[in-house]
Structure 1
Amino acid sequence: MTGPAGAADARDRLFELLPLAARTCDEAAGHPLRDLLRVIAEQAQVVQEDIARTYDNWFVETAEDWAVACLAELIGWSPPPPGPGPGPAPGGTAGRDLAVRALRPPRQDVAATLGHRRRKGTRSLLEDLAPDVAGLPGRAVEFAHLLARSQHVNHLRPDRGRTADVRGGDPQALPGGLPGSPPHTVDVRRPTSHRTAGRYGIASVGLFVPGTRAYSVTATEACRVERVGRWAFTFDATGFDVQLYGPGADGGAGLPGGLPGAITRRGLGGPGGRTASPLHYGEGRSLVIRAPGWPAPGQGDPVLPEQVVPADLGDWQAWSPRPGTVAVDPVLGRMLFPRTAPPQQVRVSYHYGFGADLGGGEYRRPLPELLRAGPPSPAAGRRTAAPRPSPAGPARWYRSATGADELRAALAALEQERPPYAVVEITAGTVVELTAGISLRPDQHLLLRAAERVRPVLCPAGPQAPLSVTLAPGSWLTLDGLLVAGPVHLAGDGGAGGDGRRAARVVVRHCTLVPGRTPRSGGAPGQPAPPALELAALPGADVGISHCIVGPVQVTGPPGGEPLRLTVADSVLDATAPAREAVGAGGQGPAPAVLDIARTTVLGTVRVHAVDHGENTVFTGPVTAARVSRGSLRHCWVPAGSRTPRRLHCGPGTEQAPSGPGAWTAPAARLVSVRYPDPGYARLAPDCPEEIRAGADDGAELGAFHDLYLTRRLDALRARMSEYVPAGVDAALFQVD
């Protein structure tokens, strides 16, 4: 008898019901009757479990996926119209969890259908539809309440019908008709018009959903702008101008409508507009500033709200704060202290806007494989590589660091002890000035990562790169959750490689290798961008980039050597200019690399040895492959003049006119912004062609934000809105940033 005792008892439950004499005779005969009853008992167990599942399938909360579709049909739930595009393709990304889930009836929407029908025609219902259908917070506005009109003296409505107040207004107002917007005259255009949409109609209702999320940065060091003076700082640790955001109701900032949104200069001010409002400033709010010992010993931790003055710091020299105050520009993310006795160090906590969980940030990210089960897998998304055996847990060598000194000590111990599986973790969101060189021995694994909910910043301490790693044959390097404000140099040691077993492997995941120069890296924004990732002399290596923002990638190697494999997925590759190389060899012909790319936005040109596979990707610059007889591109947007392998369902490049100041005008697509770290960085513009906005093989948008499935979610929400508004009412969906 094999298996657990409980399993054996369950199989023999029918046999145990027989008389003892029958069981004794069966034992003497070699248990033929017992074996027969075991088979019958197993089938009876299957029937009993099916009966139990049938009871669970009566309820939408516990029903199986196929039963949810039956329940939806039973209550008359109608699916939204299918999203544009050819739909899931066999063998492509149709097996991805998000795509499969998008094709099934949403359980939450089906469960809430009857309740929604009882509340049809109410404004609160539209706000509940946004999270139920699209998974987004929403704010519904009846535009008739915002129309300026004359009051009847016998029926006064002080809350509506006012004219615009040119002297005041609500400083916390969000754009697009949300609370605090000034009154408007009537607009006869429908908000659902396929031409020019209007808003302020008598029978118009708008549902506002955020197009940008608010991400937190906690207790990081502000960047001192030395070219201005020791009294000037930026919130961004690398020195970029960054728009500050309020996280909305969930983040405790209390923005009108409960949506995340950009903080304006007027919005930062309190009722009088002269000092920071507690709505935005303070612990647990949108931003807080810490300047220990300023303006007097024992003060400044944190700086008090009455000491924070909203200001326009577009010109650093145009503002001079009063003693004991600090001028803050939330639009540019700048701070200006009095020139007399500025603070020695400033630490800030704030929120910035972005579209998805990409790059280094304090969002929750999955653990790398070295921490879950052993050494990391090869490049993210590669289908042909086989995993290596997992080491035992105690074999891992671990060191943690909170600053530059501890990190240098950990890397020095790594060089001295040379453990086979090493983990170096940065546990504080500090700015680490570092210039480190690491050498990995053959078959050694190193994971350099940021701890969960932490965003450390690595900056060069001198003219050299902040991180330089020499890889031996068979060695593995994983960078996880880091923001690096300088080039990362990875080079081979000249050993054997390229046989598939001894080649070095590199994984870069959830990292930001800052595109372009920064004050921290010894330059100023706008200067020509150096390579953010340098791959030198790594023949046959496997390099994977996943969920990252990466500047120019430069690949060099000996002539005639085997090209490395570069796999990029769910990322942004930014050359910082249309004519520069996002992936190349620094102008020395095609890069010795075989590219495998998926769900990526490439800002710049690509020149590689070959493209083995590409899907759901936006290329804004020409793509040149030296070998076009291998590989393919499917569901990509490729500019005219590219030299690629065969294309399947790929859009042609067309010249398009600019859509506004700051928008990217490229032969392939329109983007909201191409400047890192703008809130709309690398996002498709609302007027982007439909072939790009919904051109993926599963109807989602092309590029780095594919996995948000935002196009399909918004289309489903529009369809649901039309079902629950009264007759004669025009309901439209608006995105606010």
Structure 2
Amino acid sequence: MKRISEDRLYELLPLVYRLRDAEQGEHLKALLRVITEQVNVVEDNISQLYENWFIETSEDWAVPYIGDLVGYEPVREAGEPGAAETGQGRERNKILIPRREIANTLRYRRRKGTLALLELLSNDVAGWPARAVEFYRLLNRCQAINHLGENRAQTADLRSGGALDLLDGPFEQIAHNADIRRINSRHTFHHTPGRHNIPSVGVFVWRLRSYPVTKTPAYCLESVAARCFTFSVLGNDAPLFVRPEAEADPSQIAGEFNLPVAMRRRFFEDHKSQLYGEGKSLHIWVGKKKPRGKEVIPEPVPLDSIVAADLSDWQYLPKRGYVAVDPLLGRIAFPARQFPKNGVWVNYHYGFSMDLGGGEYERSLIQPEDCEIFRVGRDEAFATIRGALEKWNEDAPRHAVIEITDSGVYAEQLNVSYREGQESLQIRAANRQRPVLRLLDWQTDRPDSLTVNGMQNNRFTLDGVMITGRGVQVSGAITELTLRHSTLVPGWSLGSDCGPQRATESSLEIFSPRVCVTIEHSIIGSIQVNPALIDVEAPARDEGDEVDEQTLAGDEASLAACKGIGEGVRLDPIRLCISDSIVDATDREFEAIGAPGCPVAHACLTIRRSTVFGRIHAHAIELGENTLFDGRISVARRQQGCLRFSYIAPGSRTPKRYRCQPDLVENAVDVPALNPADKEAAKERERLRVRPRFNSVRYGMPTYCQLAVDCAEEIKGGADDESEMGAFHDLYQPQRMANLRVRLDEYLPARMDINVILAD
């Protein structure tokens, strides 16, 4: 089609002129191609101008103008639109001026005052699934004999466990006494919002999303019993989430099947047929061997064999022929003498805030044009990654991609070593897949990390994978290392409570002298930049030791390796670029970025829109913006670089700061009228107030790294574009919330009060 388009003017010429032009070297053809190119540009522009008449096909810049035609007014409380020239500005503008909301403006006005409209507004304006609740339906009231209320709420019944499970939630069924507090009151020291009153309407919103995991092995807890399994391949307890389904009727109020909610045990027991099975919220297969053969075939566990149970202490023992499932903990139990010997596979859904780390979500794949692709999977040419690596070494292509086409678990010993002529290698997951590389303790006399040894101009990329059991080691003169949409499990592996098993171990060790490390949209444990390129003795230093000027000066002989003095040590700092990621040392007192035996890592750090749990000891920070540093920072070069719009842990040694916390709140109370003692006490109160609060700091939990409701507004809206600091910056949740509150008030019936309630 492209060739036809390029020569379409030339083909309009009579054949005699084209023949004569071909005899003379096709100069006329080349001229008309240039003219055709400009004609195509003009035609495409005219076509796009026509497309800009419609909200579904218009360009982003035209959306506000179409909105103005239907009387749409942007919400000023959410902030002013950003610069359309930048990617961040365009993404922010999509939240501030939602295309879907403008498309449905007239539809909203026709349905104003209906309860289902409030749920639709939440979906279209903020992108959050919601359930609207009229709290007057949950009020205690006398029953009129002549007007029976069959669907009214009832008094609490202690024998009704299902109703008690839903207490104070969005699906509550128990009646309450009247609460005279207004539901939309601001939460202050003197005022708290209430719920149960006649004019009160609550919109419960879910910020977590439900992500699928397809046909992946379950984890056998051999330390407990061979019959005990977890859905999570990491062995941790994780609640199973519902796979949301759209409402059949636009006027229908959303139920548990329509929302990304964590499953309750009773809910699973009552609706097994709708939740369990192929293409539903969860499914289980058990391996069966073929007669007279070694091939194992996964056979689905029938619905009639599934029972819901409380497996908190693994005390429940299912009867023979049955399988117990605990959706609240994500556990599976088989009968004592009927446990599976040939494997268990599962489909399930887990909850998380956004597309971050390895996961079965839509992501773009980047590769060189002339690359050779080696596919690994159940029905592919290679059954193992190691087999694909051997073929890669044998063929030695310049650019290569090893693509894993399923969400299986690959327990292999992986060592990547480049040869002459090989330039780049990617180990990646296919789109919407999440393979797990499980690195085991294969050798007794050396580490078992995924090792990458490259030469100058070599590039290595991990994309869309999860690595557990060990970390990654990079050595040699390799030029570039990229981690994209990947997870290197912090602490290597998890316990049942999501606690790290090897809390002090690093996920990434760097021995290369000039490598440039790029980490994007990933979750990773601590990063260690080894000063020695070969075994060089260095003085030991505890994780929690402070770094002061005297230590930085140090003894020249003992810190030779750290300073780049001597044979086999690094001379120049490497570049470490992190964006939209989480670096988790598993504790704020451990090193998130550092060097073994050295005061600081020999690395220049650039970090944007990320969250760091742990201390940073680095040569320099060239730029840090919109980032939460939940641990002290110590840099050797304070005159180089800057930090802006970030939270910096008190006591940090950093380069110049601009509009960072808690500096801003400290300066606000630094008034001459206060005496020094009161001034310091006020500063300490402000430091504690703006310290980031998270719903969870343990990887594996659905609310991992999510800012808590009571987190300070200076953190939740402290980025340069008034979004939240940290790895979830690009969700633009403050803008979504401001948009939603204003729109709900606009379409609410008269004399009603409304509030947005976070359900997760």
| Distance in 1 of aligned mates of 2:748 and 2:182 | 15
- 8 A Cα contact 1:529 1:552, kept in partner: no
Aligned to 1:419: 397
Cα 1:627–1:175, aligned 2, differ >3 Å: closer, same or farther?
farther
| Distance in 1 of aligned mates of 2:235 and 2:604 | 35
Aligned to 1:396: 372
| Distance in 1 of aligned mates of 2:108 and 2:662 | 43
- 8 A Cα contact 1:150 1:161, kept in partner: no
Matched, 1:308 2:306: yes
Matched, 1:492 2:485: no
TM-score between the two structures when normalised by the length of structure 1: 0.81
- 8 A Cα contact 2:219 2:231, kept in partner: yes
Aligned to 1:572: 582
| Distance in 2 of aligned mates of 1:9 and 1:426 | 46
**Any stretches of 5+ residues in structure 2 without a counterpart?**
13-34, 249-253, 533-560, 565-570, 667-687
| Distance in 2 of aligned mates of 1:311 and 1:55 | 59
Determine which of 458, 461, 474 is the counterpart of 2:457: 474
- 8 A Cα contact 1:174 1:256, kept in partner: no
Determine which of 655, 679, 695 is the counterpart of 1:645: 655
Displacement of 1:618 after TM fit? 0.7
- 8 A Cα contact 1:117 1:724, kept in partner: yes
Aligned to 1:148: 140
| Distance in 1 of aligned mates of 2:255 and 2:449 | 39
| Distance in 1 of aligned mates of 2:238 and 2:508 | 27
DSSP 3-state at the match of 1:449: strand
Determine which of 717, 729, 732 is the counterpart of 2:740: 717
Aligned to 1:601: 611
Displacement of 1:588 after TM fit? 2.9
Aligned pairs, number: 655
| Distance in 1 of aligned mates of 2:494 and 2:257 | 37
| Distance in 2 of aligned mates of 1:198 and 1:594 | 51
- 8 A Cα contact 1:81 1:719, kept in partner: no
Displacement of 1:199 after TM fit? 1.7
DSSP 3-state at the match of 2:738: helix
What amino acid is the match of 2:470? P
Determine which of 201, 208, 213 is the counterpart of 1:205: 201
Matched, 1:162 2:166: no
- 8 A Cα contact 1:142 1:206, kept in partner: yes
Displacement of 1:8 after TM fit? 8.3
Displacement of 1:246 after TM fit? 0.8
Displacement of 1:716 after TM fit? 0.1
Displacement of 1:714 after TM fit? 1.6
- 8 A Cα contact 2:498 2:701, kept in partner: no
Matched, 1:233 2:229: yes
Determine which of 276, 298, 310 is the counterpart of 1:281: 276
Displacement of 1:186 after TM fit? 1.9
| Distance in 2 of aligned mates of 1:50 and 1:410 | 46
Displacement of 1:432 after TM fit? 1.0
Matched, 1:323 2:326: no
1:77-92 equivalence runs, <5 A: 77-83=72-78
Output one character per residue of 1:423-464: Cα deviation in whole Å (capped at 9) or x when no partner. 111122111111121212366211101112221111123244
1:607-622 equivalence runs, <5 A: 607-622=617-632
- 8 A Cα contact 2:163 2:173, kept in partner: no
What amino acid is the match of 2:455? A
| Distance in 2 of aligned mates of 1:730 and 1:467 | 57
Matched, 1:705 2:697: no
**Which segment drifts farther, 49-58 or 665-674?**
49-58
Output one character per residue of 1:601-656: Cα deviation in whole Å (capped at 9) or x when no partner. 1111111111011111111111111111111111111111111111111111799x
Give RMSD over aligned pairs. 3.6
Aligned to 1:363: 361
Matched, 1:505 2:480: yes
Displacement of 1:6 after TM fit? 5.5
Cα 1:717–1:524, aligned 2, differ >3 Å: closer, same or farther?
closer
| Distance in 2 of aligned mates of 1:433 and 1:57 | 52
Aligned to 2:17: none
What amino acid is the match of 2:527? V
What amino acid is the match of 1:612? E
| Distance in 2 of aligned mates of 1:396 and 1:602 | 36
Displacement of 1:553 after TM fit? 1.2
**Which segment drifts farther, 528-537 or 58-67?**
58-67
- 8 A Cα contact 1:486 1:513, kept in partner: no
What amino acid is the match of 2:339? P
- 8 A Cα contact 2:641 2:656, kept in partner: yes
What amino acid is the match of 1:529? A
Matched, 1:450 2:450: no
Sequence identity percentage: 40
Aligned to 2:90: 97
Matched, 1:263 2:297: no
Displacement of 1:310 after TM fit? 2.2
Cα 1:7–1:440, aligned 2, differ >3 Å: closer, same or farther?
same
- 8 A Cα contact 2:689 2:712, kept in partner: no
**Any stretches of 5+ residues in structure 1 without a counterpart?**
11-38, 271-275, 375-391, 496-502, 656-664
What amino acid is the match of 1:651? Q
DSSP 3-state at the match of 2:460: strand
Matched, 1:338 2:312: no
